[in-house]
Amino acid sequence: MGSRNHRHRIALRKTDSVLGRTSVRESLVPYTQVSMADSKHTTLQSEDFDRWYVDVVRRAELADYTPIKGCMVIRPYGFALWERTRDALDAMIKRTGHENMYFPLLIPESYLAKEAEHVKGFAPEVAWVTQGGSKQLEERLAIRPTSETIICSLYADWIHSWRDLPVLINQWANVCRWEKRTRLFLRTTEFLWQEGHTFHETEVEAAAEVDTMLDCYREMAEEWLAMPVISGRKTESEKFAGAGYTLSIEAMMSDGWALQSGTSHYFGRGFSKAYGITFADRDNNLQHPFQTSWGLSTRIIGGLIMAHGDDAGLVLPPRVAPIQVVVVPIARSHEAEGGIVEAACQRLERETSGSVRLRVDRREGIRPGEKFAHWELRGVPLRITAGPRDLADGNVTLVRRVDGEQSVEPLEGLAARLPDLLAAAQRVTFDRAKQRLDDRSVDVKDLDELKQAFEARPAFASAPFCNTTECEDQIKAAVHAVGIRNLRFDRSASGAPCLVCAKPSQHVALIARAY
């Protein structure tokens, strides 16, 4: 799922004087040609945002390159971050009445060919299996780029009556899309995701499903990942191939660019007709069910990195952070001091067990400053320094990663206070991202104002829009690499003149550069 028509346009950036930075070509090359020695320090965001991103992903040990072009390996810390995100979303999916299933990785070519628009949208990126063992296959098998085709083919045999509806299913899986240009997490040949697929008796039920799942993605982004988003409807040129319409949430990254952070699609009866899915309605007449599809992938981890990270590395929202609190013990070789510090560390471990994801950094031969930098790079929300001097007064020092706020806290009762301190860090992380979104958002009335809005730096521009392809093309031509992200749900133009043709408009377009 996700809009297919413009997926490659920003994947490889060239020098852009408007942005004031030079981009990095990131075709995934064999691992033997890439060494961590290339990333001994983290590039500053202000110097090269793209290189900063790669440095942070690799140095924080979230992911790395592999010998297979276009594919990445997700390392334990990165996978733990994905697991936290995945599990939270999975709970929402089940809360809204959906069940998980699993479908085959391989899809017969004849299945893909039944829905022409869908196939056209994905054809350039499909990877094919043509041989099994030493035998040439009679029919090519696609490695799934998405699963609508096989799911529809199977449910044509399983749906018979209105009593079989609604069908509310979800799949957690990997997919393959043969990307020409790649970037860790943001765009890889193989990636992890969930894809939901539902069938409904009525159009109203299907439309409500599309809205419900988009709101789950909004909840995931804002309440767990601390990323404020703007919800809206994609234009015709940006919608999913084969969909009646597509809804999306769009988040601003810390460089001012947009990232599509979740999509929900209304298919209507297009796929169910193409795949011969019918049911006997309440009057015993044959009907085609209404269908939806929606998905979110490991791409969201890339968004999380770019939305909150700083020059020191990751800044992770506590709700999804694999480690929420790190304790750095500081004690000289004095035996009594070491015993006091270790006792405090053990107490924190014992009292937070089951309530806070806490780790004590007992690594030997590493200076405290190096440990501080290590955990800052990994974005741990709270750091506790336990030293003999503070402990002599019954205290420890606590530092909040998101803003560096430091405080001296009594050890007594600290374990019980940590959940509230983490909740405060979650709020600050969201508020900081929301402030950036507000600061970089601007309203424009015409193309001249649109050009001015992007002269200084990337922005989120909102403007009245008539929702025609001709005017959308002129917007793309007016400012380098911008496009309409969606038509905002939270605002209406109320008849104001379109920024291009000046005709009365009802929609407000969100316009931005996008990953």
Please check whether residues 447 and 429 belong to one and the same domain.
Answer: no
Query: How far apart are alpha carbons 259 and 403 in whole angstroms?
Result: 24
Reading across the β-sheet that carries 135-143, which strands appear in turn? Answer: 106-108, 135-143, 127-132
The pLDDT of residue 332 is: 74
The pLDDT of 289-300, averaged and rounded, is 97
> Looking at the predicted structure, is the pLDDT value of residue 215 above 90?
yes
**Element of type H or E holding 149:** helix 148-158
Please check whether residues 207 and 303 belong to one and the same domain.
Answer: yes
Please check whether residues 245 and 347 belong to one and the same domain.
Answer: no
Question: How does the average pLDDT of the chain come out, rounded?
Answer: 91
Q: 404, 437, 470: which is the final residue of a domain?
A: 437
Please check whether residues 283 and 416 belong to one and the same domain.
Answer: no
The pLDDT of residue 125 is: 87
The pLDDT of 145-156, averaged and rounded, is 95
Distances (CA, A) of 491 to 397, 443, 514: 46, 12, 21
* Percent of the chain topping pLDDT 90: 85
Examine residue 344 and state whether it is found in any structural domain, yes or no.
Answer: yes
Q: 308, 342, 360: which is the final residue of a domain?
A: 308
Peptide bond into 410 cis (omega under 30): no
> Looking at the predicted structure, is the pLDDT value of residue 510 above 90?
yes
Q: 437, 454, 469: which is the final residue of a domain?
A: 437
The pLDDT of 394-409, averaged and rounded, is 98
Query: How far apart are alpha carbons 259 and 251 in whole angstroms?
Result: 5
Q: Other C-beta atoms within 10 Å of 275: how many? A: 21
- For the entire predicted model, the pTM comes to 0.91
Distances (CA, A) of 181 to 11, 25, 30, 165, 369: 6, 8, 14, 41, 38
Please check whether residues 422 and 450 belong to one and the same domain.
Answer: no
> Looking at the predicted structure, is the pLDDT value of residue 245 above 50?
yes
The pLDDT of residue 179 is: 83
Query: Rounded to 5 degrees, what angle do the CA atoms 28, 32, 36 make?
Result: 80
> Looking at the predicted structure, is the pLDDT value of residue 158 above 60?
yes
Examine residue 2 and state whether it is found in any structural domain, yes or no.
Answer: no
Distances (CA, A) of 361 to 61, 297, 326, 346, 420: 17, 32, 7, 12, 23
DSSP 237-258: TTSPTT-SEEEEEEEE-TTS-E
The pLDDT of residue 43 is: 95
Query: How far apart are alpha carbons 169 and 150 in whole angstroms?
Result: 14
Please check whether residues 283 and 341 belong to one and the same domain.
Answer: no
Examine residue 9 and state whether it is found in any structural domain, yes or no.
Answer: no
Quote the domain boundaries for residue 129. Answer: 31-308
| 272 against 37, higher pLDDT | 272
Query: Which neighbouring-strand residues pair with 286?
Result: 280
Query: How far apart are alpha carbons 505 and 294 in whole angstroms?
Result: 29
> Looking at the predicted structure, is the pLDDT value of residue 29 above 80?
no
**Element of type H or E holding 82:** helix 76-95
Residue 87 corresponds to which amino acid? D
| Model confidence band, residue 335 (pLDDT cutoffs 50, 70, 90) | low
The pLDDT of 173-196, averaged and rounded, is 94
Classify residue 216 by burial, with Cβ atoms within 10 Å: 0-12, 13-18, 19+.
buried
Please check whether residues 400 and 265 belong to one and the same domain.
Answer: no
> What are the pLDDT digits (tens) for 220-242?
999 999 999 999 999 999 999 88
> Looking at the predicted structure, is the pLDDT value of residue 464 above 90?
yes
> What are the pLDDT digits (tens) for 72-120?
999 999 999 999 999 999 999 999 999 999 999 999 999 888 866 666 7
Work out how many domains the chain is built from and give that number: 3
